[in-house]
Chain A
Amino acid sequence: MASAPAFSSFSSTAPFSAAKSTSTRRPDTACFRPDTACFRPSRISAAYASVERPRTSASTSATTLYDVLGLQTSATCQEIKQAYRRLARVSHPDVASSGAHDDFIRIHSAYATLSDPEKRADYDRAVFVRRRPASYSTAATPVYSNRRWETDQCW
């Protein structure tokens, strides 16, 4: 996990050592389901992340559309809108200087998918149920091409 050191700041909020030990596990272990029970461990860090790194979440290659917006998978429509607005404030090319172009496109495409209930359902199915990322090709980021412990820690 090359990106793990970047998140060492979360060690106070999330059991980092535990995350590290499980990060070698494949995400398709039996317990991996999109329901909240599986994702509870990441909830803390996701909430933390949304405050801490609105900038970096967009510039580094995030894994899921939820990561792009710094959200958890159970986020409500309202939360999605809020996150989008917050990120737009920082990374819209009108405010940010250079390199914001791609960031904002990514943020917007994540928002466009997640804010539409139908598309969001499709996306959730594609990512979490079928889990065949190669077959899924609408959004900006290839799903699961770059896994991070945040998405891996499902035990």
Chain B
Amino acid sequence: MAESRLKRPVRNVVLTVPVSFSRFQLTRIQRACAMAGLHVLRLMPEPTAVALLYAQQQLKVVQDTMGSGMEKLALIFNLGAGYCDVAVTATAGGVSEIKALSGGPVGGEDILLNMMRHLLPESESLFLNHGVSDIALLSTFRVATQDAIHSLSSQHTVDVNIDLGNGMKVCKVVTREEFEEVNKKVFEKCEALVVQCLHDAKVDLGNLSDVILVGGCSNIPKIRDIVLGVCKKGKCYTGMNPYEATVCGAALEGAVASGVTDPCGNLDLLTIQVTPLSIGIRADGNEFVPIIFRNTTIPARRELVFTTTRENQTEALITLYEGDEDKLDKNHLLGYFKVGIPPAPKGTPEINICLDIDASNVLRCLAGVVLPGSPKPVAPIMEIVLPMVDDGHGWCAEALKREYGSTLDLISLRRKM
């Protein structure tokens, strides 16, 4: 569609993705793009696209921020149809530094479904047999509910009057309070995401200059109240169109990434991204030990040293996970591999696990084994690009755990100070 509008083929794309997308989802998008013949310039989390737009606007406002070094902190809240994303960005002189990201799979769709259930509690059973007429009815009902939600953004009560044909009618007066009660869970989740993001960014609320609300659901009064309430702000930033902000930001990124320069310096922009999810390995029993924590600046590299748990252990199984759940199994399995270790008393070999994320967000894992006293690794360092397995392969890890028990386990070695 974009191609026919532009009347020329599109080859390079910048895509915005929800913050909570795992590495698998990102890989899948890239694969899909490759199949469609598109070269992905960037896959950027949605709020960071907004942050880029904000950085450009601030650049226009104060041309010489670079000199004064005044940085402006902004909280970006994006609630779309399926995902809720929050980011805290610090911007000065066109360089925006993402301080923290958080996101979750809640959005307008949940609000809509909750509302439909509220209006017609038996709706799910009603449309079970998926006939053509049922689907038509359902979509009528959907559109009507959507309209009702929209009107509730501007007025306190709404008359819902839907004729579904064959004797079914929904007549109800819905108040804003009712709507908020029905969607309490969604709003609570959003609030938790904002609180978490502010906490991760370690910002002082007093230093927050702007609160930016974007996305289709940003007009809901309750959402505004929640976000502004948490940020202790009176009003939100009005400099951008909430529906177009993400796309504008992505367009800017596209221009920057493809090397377009603007003599006025309006494209003199840089976004310093962070990883939205922690990455670590299984160690210390059945624990998730993060090596790269979430909200680490990309490119990033961090290594941790582990050691063996058994006498003369000759192999160690390294299983890598991505996520922020305390429980290992709740995180996504990214891959697993073994490293060979020369026989040695337990606790002596140093197994160095290094995770490296480059600027194009490719994750590599390097593993080397060192015996104390020798500076060189005993075996060539292994380098592996992750993810190695596909999504939902957590069962592989389970199977490996059953097979080997704890014979190939690792424990983390405190760094000698």
Q: Spell out A's residues near B (CB within 8 Å).
A: 78-79, 81-82, 85-86, 88-89, 92-95, 100-101, 104-105, 108, 112, 135, 137
Contact, CB under 8 Å: B69 / A78: yes
Contact, CB under 8 Å: B301 / A95: no
Residues of B within 8 A of A88 (CB): 95, 97, 270, 272
Residues of B within 8 A of A89 (CB): 95, 270
Q: Is B66 an interface residue (CB 8 A)?
A: yes
Q: How far is the CA of A92 from the CA of B96 in the complex (A)?
A: 12
Q: Is B350 an interface residue (CB 8 A)?
A: no
Q: How far is the CB of A53 from chain B (nearest CB, A)?
A: 18
Residues of A within 8 A of B359 (CB): 92-94, 100-101, 104
Chosen A-B contacts, 10 in total, with CB atoms closer than 8 Å, are A82-B69, A82-B92, A93-B360, A94-B257, A95-B270, A100-B359, A101-B358, A105-B299, A105-B300, A135-B417
1/0 per residue B280-299: CB within 8 Å of A?
Answer: 00000000000000000101
Residues of A within 8 A of B92 (CB): 81-82, 85
Contact, CB under 8 Å: B415 / A137: yes
Partner of A137, one of B97, B299, B417: B417
Residues of A within 8 A of B71 (CB): 81
Q: Spell out B's residues near A (CB within 8 Å).
A: 66, 69, 71, 92-93, 95, 97, 256-257, 270-272, 297, 299-301, 358-360, 415-417
> Given A92-B359, A137-B415, A137-B417, are A82 and B66 also a contact pair (CB < 8 Å)?
yes
Q: How far is the CB of B255 from chain A (nearest CB, A)?
A: 13
Q: How far is the CA of A49 from the CA of B270 in the complex (A)?
A: 23
Residues of A within 8 A of B300 (CB): 105
Q: How far is the CB of B293 from chain A (nearest CB, A)?
A: 12
Partner of B299, one of A78, A101, A112: A101
Q: How far is the CB of B207 from chain A (nearest CB, A)?
A: 12
Q: How far is the CA of A85 from the CA of B380 in the complex (A)?
A: 37
Residues of B within 8 A of A112 (CB): 297
Residues of A within 8 A of B272 (CB): 88, 92
Residues of A within 8 A of B358 (CB): 93, 101
Q: Give 10 nearest A-B pairs by CB, closest first.
A: A93-B359, A82-B69, A85-B95, A78-B69, A108-B297, A101-B299, A105-B301, A101-B358, A105-B299, A88-B95
Q: How far is the CA of A108 from the CA of B275 in the complex (A)?
A: 14
Q: How far is the CB of B89 from chain A (nearest CB, A)?
A: 13
Residue of B nearest to A104 (CB): B299
Residues of A within 8 A of B416 (CB): 137
Q: How far is the CA of A112 from the CA of B257 in the complex (A)?
A: 26
Contact, CB under 8 Å: B95 / A79: no
Q: How far is the CA of A101 from the CA of B360 in the complex (A)?
A: 10
Residues of B within 8 A of A94 (CB): 256-257, 270-271, 359
Q: How far is the CB of A93 from chain B (nearest CB, A)?
A: 3
Residue of A nearest to B257 (CB): A94
Partner of A92, one of B270, B301, B360, B417: B270
Q: How far is the CA of A86 from the CA of B416 in the complex (A)?
A: 35
